[in-house]
Amino acid sequence: SQKIEQNSEALNIQEGKTATLTCNYTNYSPAYLQWYRQDPGRGPVFLLLIRENEKEKRKERLKVTFDTTLKQSLFHITASQPADSATYLCAPPSHTGFQKLVFGTGTRLLVSP
């Protein structure tokens, strides 16, 4: 069955540095992958989508890469700020189809001033 792996340990970085979060998937090849941000006690918020034919996607300080050979997506936040502290979720589509996403456990990012 599909497996989505994100680093379950929190990532602590200093303000101004680049945060890099990893999403690995196994047992299938998704056509795209979505990234969401979740703050404590709130629902996830969509950030970016990257398709399998796109190596890289950018949005302001965010950058996502998609390596279909390594079966991995990397999510980067450059010039990180304390307000970027949140849990980031990786979500490729389910291989069983129909409008379903499979969410990873998420990686918590803590940006200290």
Residue-level length of the chain:
113
Pairing of strands 11-14, 107-112: parallel
Question: Min. distance of Cβ 81 from another protein in angstroms?
Answer: 22
User: What SS3 class is residue 7?
Assistant: coil
Instruction: Using the minimum distance from each CB to another protein, give the nearer residue, 63 or 108.
Output: 108
Instruction: Using the minimum distance from each CB to another protein, give the nearer residue, 30 or 80.
Output: 30
Residues forming the site for another protein (CB under 8 A): 4, 8, 32, 34, 41-46, 49, 51, 89, 93, 98-106
Instruction: Using the minimum distance from each CB to another protein, give the nearer residue, 19 or 36.
Output: 36
Closest by CA position to 17, among listed 65, 81, 88, 87 = 81
